[in-house]
């Protein structure tokens, strides 16, 4: 004789071969607690007790669950407990859910499910938030925004100050420029303070302009906010540096703080990045180009965000594609180490540099392109590309924003 | 204002459709509320909801009854589920959604509606939430994923009653951006047939949704 156990949202229900209920365990008030345990595939004492009771009367107990068999084997070693992830008896319970549940308990099924599922879902949401990822993603995004807007604002400030302090235009450090204006503003103050001593800029008294105190104040207040943006940028950069070093030490080694953060931000989390193949990592950030390649058969992009890696950007153009592949491969390994094992491996960077030297040595000069007529091994896609190249190109001008593409 | 009842709890008001608000006074997505014969009607925007788009485009089979049990895959922020919960007043709407961010919005809706059940789980793995769901009359799937037909079939087989009606919204662009939508639709229809389903109706959703199609299917005996 066999007995079948089905897990429902109200409890474990045991049926015999004739589909009648022989035993049960109801969750009652502890519904949320038990559902959480089922979700996490934990074996509860109550379920074990139920199986124990059934084994007294039945030869075999078949359990419908997605827990693995080994969980049960540890407790019941006679080989009479079986695990299935789908049974006809479970199907029967789900088909006659209302009759079965209302015969066992008199709670309002809808109401109780609604409230406990809501609690269950909100708990899962809370668990799903990964603070480290959120911090990295938001910081690097803010950094991007700050860089964009501070560029605009410093341009405005320079334009504003040029009539009064034309010599300062030669000062190329934006941060220093905004600091000087914010702190000293007037020509006399700057000369007195000696801030320009170590620079190649000096003030010429001939250019002196008449300007009122109120006018200087308004320039100063604007300059102050611009300078504070630069200060914020510096703190954010420091933060990213330390955060990546802590969360992803391997990636920090291989890719550097900024690039690592950008890659993590682009994929919305370290774990997502670690699950991507290295060929995808290589072209993250070049979505527009890769989709154009897929649509028109044009050459695929060699690198995306990864181009910012100093080893790629600083190399000759004819090896960049090869280097991008090597770097992407190592970044992928590093990301996986960081996300899943957490061990720090200083060898990664060394291996990468060795490999890069190898590639550079093997290709000291650009290779001449092969003669088109000699190319008999062309595949279909390439041919299509050439055909397309002759025609007028129709480019997909729509810019893909974040969230509009999937990997 | 001309009001016609076109289905259980569904009305047509001039050129738009609406459902009877289950929670009077509460809006879900800033939709218009209209007072009619002591009931409050919520305008159902076909640009926000693919089911509404299908109805506007002439859906014949409307399987949602006042006591229907529904499995809704891809509940998102709860726009369409809220209307289904308006219709299935005495029924149950099991709503599966994978993204915690969207689920947070959905919980605001399901908190007010007793027939909406939130399940934060992956619709591609129905066995993981099999203990939370019973057999249903309607399986509705609106998951923009490359494997959307397969996951719809898996769920349909596991949770569909014998007379269950399935509604599958296919977004051609999320199956393959590079191919023609019509070819993809044909292929997915074939896949449904191979999976043991019969397509009884197909509705293209443009101009409301580009490159989308709605397949209405049932078990093939």
Model pLDDT for residues B97-117, shown as the tens digit of each residue: 999 989 999 999 999 999 999
Kindly report the number of other CB atoms within 10 A of residue A317's CB atom. 8
pLDDT above 50 (res A180): yes
Best of B92, B97, B99, B117 to substitute, by most chain A Cβ atoms within 10 angstroms, is B117
pLDDT above 50 (res A380): no
pLDDT above 50 (res A301): yes
Model pLDDT for residues B168-207, shown as the tens digit of each residue: 999 999 998 889 999 999 999 999 999 999 999 999 998 9
Specify the range with the lowest mean pLDDT, choosing from A19-28, A62-71, A203-212, A320-329.
A203-212
Answer yes or no: do A66 and B128 touch at CB < 8 A: yes
- Cα separations in angstroms, B176 against A239, A279, A304: 40, 19, 22
Q: Token match 């015969």: residue?
A: A103
Give yes or no for B66 touching A (CB within 8 A).
no
Give yes or no for A129 touching B (CB within 8 A).
yes
Count chain A–chain B contacts defined by CB atoms under 8 A: 79
- In this prediction the ipTM stands at 0.92
User: Which of B103, B128, B177 lies closest to A125 in CB terms?
Assistant: B103
- The mean pLDDT of B141-167, rounded to a whole number, is 94
- Which pLDDT score, from 0 to 100, does residue A342 have? 84
> Å from B120 to nearest chain A CA?
6
Q: What's the CA angle centered on A233, arms A230 and A234, to 5 degrees? A: 90
Residue A196's nearest CA partner among A180, A183, A172, A175 is: A180
pLDDT above 80 (res A224): yes
The separation between CA A368 and the C-alpha centre of its own chain, rounded to angstroms, equals: 39
Strand A2-7 versus strand A60-64 pairing type:
parallel
What does the DSSP assignment read for B147-188?
THHHHHHHHHHHHEEEEEEEEEEEEHHHH-SSS-HHHHHHHH
pLDDT above 70 (res A393): no
> Residue B74 half-sphere exposure, CB side, CA atoms within 13 Å?
22
Confidence of residue A398 (pLDDT cuts 50, 70, 90): low
Give yes or no for A364 touching B (CB within 8 A).
no
Answer yes or no: do B100 and A85 touch at CB < 8 A: no
- The mean pLDDT of B139-147, rounded to a whole number, is 93
Q: Which helix (H) or strand (E) holds B96?
A: strand B92-97
Question: Are the C-beta atoms of residues B162 and B145 closer than 8 Å to each other?
Answer: no
Model pLDDT for residues A274-285, shown as the tens digit of each residue: 999 999 999 999
The token pair that represents A12 in the structure block:
């474990």
User: Which of B119, B131, B161 lies closest to A95 in CB terms?
Assistant: B161
SS3 label, residue A15: strand
| Minimal-distance CA residue of chain B relative to A128 | B100
- Which pLDDT score, from 0 to 100, does residue A407 have? 58
- The mean pLDDT of A260-265, rounded to a whole number, is 94
- Measured between beta carbons, which residues in chain A are less than 8 angstroms from residue B120? 120-121, 124-125
Q: Token match 């599966």: residue?
A: B96
Residue B19's nearest CA partner among B88, B92, B106 is: B88
How many residues belong to chain B? 221
Give yes or no for B117 touching A (CB within 8 A).
yes
């Amino acid at each position: 004789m066999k007995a079948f156990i089905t897990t429902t949202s109200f409890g474990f229900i045991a049926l015999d071969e004739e589909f009648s209920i022989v035993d049960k365990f109801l969750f009652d008030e502890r519904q949320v607690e038990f559902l959480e345990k089922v979700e996490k595939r934990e074996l509860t004492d109550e379920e074990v007790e139920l199986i124990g009771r059934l084994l007294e009367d039945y030869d075999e107990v078949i359990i419908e669950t997605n827990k693995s068999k080994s969980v049960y084997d540890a407790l019941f070693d006679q080989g009479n407990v079986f695990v299935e992830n789908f049974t006809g008896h479970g199907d029967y319970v789900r088909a006659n859910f209302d009759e079965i549940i209302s015969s066992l308990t008199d709670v309002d099924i809808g109401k109780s499910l609604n409230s406990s599922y809501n609690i269950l879902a909100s708990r899962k949401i809370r668990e799903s938030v990964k603070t480290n990822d959120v911090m990295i993603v938001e910081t690097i995004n803010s950094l991007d925004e700050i860089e964009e807007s501070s560029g605009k604002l410093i341009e405005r400030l320079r334009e504003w100050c040029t009539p009064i302090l034309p010599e300062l235009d030669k000062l190329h450090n934006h941060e220093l420029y905004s600091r000087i204006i914010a702190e000293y503003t007037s020509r006399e103050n700057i000369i007195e303070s000696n801030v320009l001593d170590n620079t190649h800029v000096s003030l010429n008294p001939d250019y002196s302009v008449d300007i009122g105190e109120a006018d200087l104040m308004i320039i100063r207040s604007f300059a102050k906010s611009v300078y504070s943006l630069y200060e914020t940028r510096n703190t954010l950069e420091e933060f990213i540096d330390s955060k990546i070093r802590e969360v992803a030490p391997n990636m920090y080694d291989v890719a550097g703080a900024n690039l690592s953060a950008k890659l993590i931000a682009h994929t919305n989390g370290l774990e997502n990045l670690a699950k991507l193949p290295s060929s995808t990592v290589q072209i993250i950030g070049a979505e527009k180009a890769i989709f154009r390649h897929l649509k028109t058969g044009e050459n695929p992009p060699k690198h995306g965000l990864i181009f910012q890696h100093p080893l790629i950007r600083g190399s000759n153009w004819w090896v960049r594609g090869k280097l991008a592949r090597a770097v992407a491969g190592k970044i992928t390994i590093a990301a996986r180490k960081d996300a899943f094992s957490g061990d720090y491996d200083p060898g990664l960077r060394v291996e990468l540099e060795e490999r890069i030297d190898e590639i550079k040595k093997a290709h000291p000069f650009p290779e001449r392109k092969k003669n088109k007529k000699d190319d008999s091994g062309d595949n279909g896609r390439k041919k299509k590309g050439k055909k397309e190249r002759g025609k007028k190109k129709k480019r997909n001008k729509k810019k893909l924003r974040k969230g509009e593409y999937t990997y | 204002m001309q009001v016609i009842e076109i289905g259980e709890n569904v009305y047509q008001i001039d050129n738009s459709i609406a459902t009877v608000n289950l929670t009077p006074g509460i809006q879900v997505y800033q939709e218009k509320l209209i007072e009619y014969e002591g009931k409050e009607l919520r305008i159902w925007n076909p640009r926000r909801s693919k089911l509404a788009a299908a109805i506007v485009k002439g859906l014949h089979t409307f399987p949602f009854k006042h006591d229907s049990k529904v499995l809704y895959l891809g509940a998102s922020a709860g726009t369409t589920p809220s209307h289904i919960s308006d219709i299935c007043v005495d029924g149950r709407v099991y709503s599966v959604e994978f993204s915690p961010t969207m689920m947070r919005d959905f919980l605001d809706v399901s908190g007010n509606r007793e027939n909406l059940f939130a399940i934060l789980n992956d619709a591609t793995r129905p066995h993981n939430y099999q203990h939370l769901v019973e057999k249903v009359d309607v399986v509705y799937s609106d998951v923009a994923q490359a494997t959307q037909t397969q996951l719809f079939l898996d769920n349909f087989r596991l949770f569909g009653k014998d007379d269950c009606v399935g509604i599958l919204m296919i977004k051609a662009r999320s199956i393959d951006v590079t191919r023609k939508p019509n070819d993809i639709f044909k292929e997915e229809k074939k896949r449904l047939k191979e999976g043991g389903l019969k397509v009884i109706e197909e509705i293209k959703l443009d101009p409301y949704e580009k490159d989308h199609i709605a397949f209405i299917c049932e078990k093939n005996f």
